[in-house]
A and B are shown apart, each in its own frame.
Chain A
Amino acid sequence: MRPLPVLGAALLALMLVSVSVGAAQVDLRTILSDHRAMLVVLESRLPRTVAVVLTGAALSVAGVLIQALVRNRFVGPDTSGTAEGAALGLLAVTILWPASPLWLRMIAASAAAMATTALFLAVVRRLPVREVMLVPIAGLVLSGVLGSVVTFVGWQSDLMQYVGTWLMSGEFSGVISGRYELLWFAGIAAALAWFSADRFAILGLGDGVATGLGLSTAAVMRLGLAVVSIVTAMVVTTVGMIPFVGLVVPNLVARIMGDNLRTSLPVVALAGAVLVLACDLAGRLVIRPYEVPAGLILGILGAVLFLWLLHRRPAHG
Chain B
Amino acid sequence: MDSGFAGAGLDPRPRLSRDAAMLGGMALLLAAVAALWMFQGLGQGNRSFLLGLRGAKLAALVTVAVAGGVSTILFQTVAANRVLTPSIMGFDALYVLLQSGLVVALGGAGFVGLPPAAKFTAEVAAMTALAALLFGTLLLKGARDLPKMILTGVILGVLFRSVSGFLGRVLDPNEFAVVQSVSFASFNRVDVTLLPWAVAATALAVAAAWRMSAILDVLALGRDPAVSLGLRHRAAVLAVLTLVAVLVSVSTALVGPVAFFGLILAGLAHGLMRTSRHALLLPAAGLSGAILLVGGQWLFERLLSQAATLSVVVEFAGGLFFLFLLLKGRIR
* Whether chain A touches chain B in the assembled complex (some CB pair under 8 Å): yes
Query: Taking the complex as formed, is B319 at the interface, i.e. its CB lies under 8 A from any CB of chain A?
Result: yes
Q: Which of A127, A292, A307 lies in contact with B169, CB distance below 8 A?
A: A292
Q: In the bound complex, do residue B315 and residue A307 qualify as a contact, i.e. CB atoms below 8 Å apart?
A: no
Q: In the bound complex, do residue B326 and residue A134 qualify as a contact, i.e. CB atoms below 8 Å apart?
A: yes
Q: In the bound complex, do residue A307 and residue B155 qualify as a contact, i.e. CB atoms below 8 Å apart?
A: yes
Query: Taking the complex as formed, is B53 at the interface, i.e. its CB lies under 8 A from any CB of chain A?
Result: no
Q: In the bound complex, do residue A310 and residue B166 qualify as a contact, i.e. CB atoms below 8 Å apart?
A: no
Query: Using Cβ atoms and an 8 Å threshold, which residues of chain B touch A172?
Result: none
Residue of A nearest to B177 (CB): A164
Residue of A nearest to B313 (CB): A152
What is the bound-complex CA distance between A303 and B151, given in angstroms?
A: 11
Query: Using Cβ atoms and an 8 Å threshold, which residues of chain B touch A133?
Result: 145, 147-148, 150-151
Of the candidate stretches A14-22, A140-148, A258-266, the one touching chain B is A140-148
Residue of A nearest to B162 (CB): A299
Question: Which of B163, B260, B319, B323 counts the most chain A CB atoms within 10 A?
Answer: B319
Residue of B nearest to A134 (CB): B147
A 272-317 contacts with B by CB, 8 A = 286-287, 290-293, 296-297, 299-300, 303-304, 306-307, 310-311
B 303-325 contacts with A by CB, 8 A = 308-309, 312-313, 315-316, 319-320, 322-323
Query: Using Cβ atoms and an 8 Å threshold, which residues of chain A touch B48?
Result: none
Q: In the bound complex, do residue A164 and residue B180 qualify as a contact, i.e. CB atoms below 8 Å apart?
A: yes
As a 0/1 sequence over residues 54 to 82 of chain B, the CB contacts with chain A under 8 angstroms (1 = contact) are 00000000000000000000000000000
Query: Using Cβ atoms and an 8 Å threshold, which residues of chain A touch B319?
Result: 141-142, 144-145, 148
Query: Taking the complex as formed, is B100 at the interface, i.e. its CB lies under 8 A from any CB of chain A?
Result: no
Nearest CB of chain A from residue B187's CB, rounded to whole Å: 14
Count of residues in A whose CB is under 8 Å from the partner chain: 43
Nearest CB of chain A from residue B244's CB, rounded to whole Å: 20
Query: Taking the complex as formed, is A132 at the interface, i.e. its CB lies under 8 A from any CB of chain B?
Result: yes
Question: Which of B162, B166, B184 counts the most chain A CB atoms within 10 A?
Answer: B162
Query: Using Cβ atoms and an 8 Å threshold, which residues of chain B touch A287?
Result: 169-170, 173
Q: In the bound complex, do residue A137 and residue B151 qualify as a contact, i.e. CB atoms below 8 Å apart?
A: yes
What is the bound-complex CA distance between A128 and B148, given in angstroms?
A: 15
Query: Taking the complex as formed, is A97 at the interface, i.e. its CB lies under 8 A from any CB of chain B?
Result: no
Residue of B nearest to A247 (CB): B155
Residue of A nearest to B327 (CB): A126
Q: A131-B332, A307-B155 given as contacts; is B323 within 8 A of A138 (CB)?
A: yes
Query: Taking the complex as formed, is B275 at the interface, i.e. its CB lies under 8 A from any CB of chain A?
Result: no
Query: Taking the complex as formed, is A136 at the interface, i.e. its CB lies under 8 A from any CB of chain B?
Result: yes
Q: In the bound complex, do residue B151 and residue A142 qualify as a contact, i.e. CB atoms below 8 Å apart?
A: no
Residue of A nearest to B154 (CB): A140
Q: Which of A136, A155, A310 lies in contact with B309, CB distance below 8 A?
A: A155
Which residues in A have some Cβ–Cβ distance to B below 8 Å? 74, 123, 126-128, 131-134, 136-138, 140-142, 144-145, 148-149, 151-152, 155-156, 160, 164, 168, 243, 286-287, 290-293, 296-297, 299-300, 303-304, 306-307, 310-311
27 A-B pairs (CB sep. < 8 Å): A74-B151, A123-B323, A127-B327, A128-B329, A131-B147, A133-B150, A134-B147, A140-B154, A141-B319, A142-B319, A142-B323, A144-B319, A145-B315, A155-B308, A155-B312, A164-B177, A168-B183, A291-B173, A293-B169, A296-B179, A299-B165, A300-B163, A303-B156, A303-B158, A303-B162, A310-B148, A311-B152
Interface contacts beyond A145-B316, A299-B165, A307-B156: sample of 19 additional A-B pairs, CB < 8 Å, sorted by A = A123-B323, A123-B326, A128-B332, A131-B147, A131-B332, A134-B331, A137-B326, A137-B331, A144-B259, A151-B184, A160-B180, A164-B179, A243-B158, A287-B170, A290-B173, A300-B162, A306-B155, A307-B152, A310-B155
Q: Which 5 A-B pairs have the closest CB atoms?
A: A299-B162, A133-B147, A290-B173, A303-B159, A145-B319
